[in-house]
Structures are given as C-alpha cells and as structure tokens.
Amino acid sequence: MSAKEMFEKLGYELDIITDFEILYHMKWEISTTYWVSFNILSKTIECFANSDSPFEPSKSYEIDIDLLQAINKQVEELGWIGDKEQEEYTLTPDENGTTQINGEWYRVEKK
C-alpha cells in the first residue's frame, strides 16, 4: 500500500504535491483541519491543526501509530531513509522567490 493510500485510509486527502512540498489534510468536526506537511528541501515533517476560528492559533498535535506508519511510508517513498541519494538544493533569500519558509521568501536552485 502506498503512503497516499495509507493517508486516505485514515481520512486524509492529498492537498498539494510539488518539488518542494507534500501536504495532506483532514477536516475534523466542524472547525478543525489537521495537516501533515513534508518539506522536501529541509527533509522535515510538521503535523499541525488549524481552527477556522481567528481566535485559536495553529498548534501541533499528537499522532497515533497508524498515522506514524503512513508518515514513515511517505518518508520511505521520498528516499529519506536508507542509502538512496537525494538531490540537494540551495535556498537564496529573494523577495520574488517562489518558496516561503517561516514567513521569508526564497529562490530554490538545485546544486
């Protein structure tokens, strides 16, 4: 089973996939959306929840073993585990860049 299929089985939908990011989301109850974000450039994973309320900030959330297995499968498919060689990128601060990280814009170039 692929990572996408594992996420879908848990109720997540693939929201975006680019050369730099993979993002899954799941709407829960009325006003909360759970996100799992894979940053391909920095090889990091972020799990956070957003409320539709402007008074409630985004927050990280705990994951269960099924979600951990889906995350591990995605990491494996990305080649982050094992001997597979990854492409390397450089980030150059650029207000006209196409990638935003922590509120700053960057131009991304392969090494």
pLDDT single digits (tens) 39-90: 998 899 999 998 877 777 788 888 999 999 999 999 999 999 864 455 667 7
Q: What is the chain's alpha carbon radius of gyration, rounded to the nearest angstrom?
A: 15
- Please report, rounded to a whole number, the percentage of residues in the chain having pLDDT higher than 90: 43
**In the prediction, which pLDDT does 48 show?**
92
- Could you tell me the pLDDT band of residue 36, with boundaries at 50, 70 and 90? very high
Tell me the pTM.
Answer: 0.70
**In the prediction, which pLDDT does 92 show?**
80
- Could you tell me the pLDDT band of residue 16, with boundaries at 50, 70 and 90? confident
**HEC per residue, 11-77:** CCEEEEECCCEEEEEEEECCCEEEEEEEECCCCEEEEEEEECCCCCCCEECCCCHHHHHHHHHHHHH
Give the Cα separation of 31 and 50 in Å (integer): 8
